[in-house]
Amino acid sequence: VKESGKNNCLLYSDTWENSSLERLKLQHDLKQALSKGEFVLHYQPQYNLCNGNMVGVEALIRWQHPERGLVPPNQFIPLAEESGMIVQIGDWVLQEACRQNKAWQDEGLTSIPVSVNLSIRQFLQQNLTDKVSQILKDTGLQAKYLDLEITESMTMDIERASRCLLELTSLGVNISMDDFGTGYSSFNYLKSLPIGRLKIDRSFVRDIEQEAGDAAIVAAIISMGHNLNLQVIAEGVENEAQMQFLKKHHCDEIQGYFWSPPVRGQQIAEMLQGVWKH
């Protein structure tokens, strides 16, 4: 066991591929964290590129650890996925994101959808649609204000994915394909799945200016998305030049540090009140 610092002995490393003891401890701590209410959601705004309006937010989990402060998801989500804990954590995320979104609406703020990341284990649950439906009912949030982010790897079994997605979309929620371009899905898949939006992975956006290849890929994803009647959002937009490129190529929306990092719910409320504008 690694000794790190004075008051705590275990470090949750960047990679979770640590000693099995460390992993056991983290698993145990994750369970506790859920029951003690130590998880929080931050929200990153998504903006319409034509008018600069905030048109959505993505819910991103953090762990408010009593000793370590705010722990980012890459330090615990992979192990939660491996151990199955992601299902309970994911239930909480769904519930909390819907509750928060309804609370913003109840404050009289502009209604926008909240995007929630699904992990493959959650996606493969038999009762996911029932759960989502129940959460919408419990929180009073209309389905159209919930967006579920899946990844290409979840659609490997196309028949099954198709069935699951049709069920979910029949509720009225939207589906976004996250990290698009990094997986294996063929364009044919996209055509046959009830997906509403593509999220261009930030690895392509990052080098838009330096790498002609990346620029070509981004431009191609945007035009293909539009030809398939999908909305296209670029993630990881960090500077003006990237934004201008995306605008020139008619990307619909952007998300990234350039306009806002993930922030607390209260700050989203202030942004929606127009205290912040782009």
* 253-255 and 231-235 strand pairing: parallel
The verdict on 196 binding ligand C2E (CB under 6 A) reads no
The verdict on 176 binding ligand C2E (CB under 6 A) reads no
User: Quick one: which of 53, 68, 72, 209 contacts ligand C2E (CB under 6 A)?
Assistant: 72
Q: Please, which residue, 180 or 189, has the CB nearer to ligand C2E?
A: 180
User: Quick one: which of 27, 44, 75, 155 contacts ligand C2E (CB under 6 A)?
Assistant: 44
Q: Please, which residue, 76 or 145, has the CB nearer to ligand C2E?
A: 76
Three-state SS string over 124-190 comes to CCCCHHHHHHHHHHHHCCCHHHEEEEEEHHHHCCHHHHHHHHHHHHHHCCEEEEEEECCCCCCHHHH
What 3-state class would DSSP assign to 197? strand
User: Quick one: which of 8, 19, 74, 111 contacts ligand C2E (CB under 6 A)?
Assistant: 74
The verdict on 56 binding ligand C2E (CB under 6 A) reads no
- Taking residue 117's Cβ as centre, other Cβ atoms within 10 Å add up to 21
Q: Please, which residue, 77 or 87, has the CB nearer to Ca ion?
A: 77
- Residues 101-120 touching ligand C2E, rule: CB under 6 A, are 117, 119
Q: Please, which residue, 152 or 235, has the CB nearer to ligand C2E?
A: 235
- Residues 178-217 touching Ca ion, rule: CB under 5 A, are 178-179
The verdict on 183 binding ligand C2E (CB under 6 A) reads no
**Phi and psi for 100 in degrees, rounded to 5?**
-60, -40
Cα separation, 144 vs 132, in Å, equals 12
The verdict on 61 binding ligand C2E (CB under 6 A) reads yes
The verdict on 93 binding ligand C2E (CB under 6 A) reads yes
Q: Please, which residue, 22 or 179, has the CB nearer to Ca ion?
A: 179
Binding site for Ca ion (CB under 5 A): 117, 149, 178-179
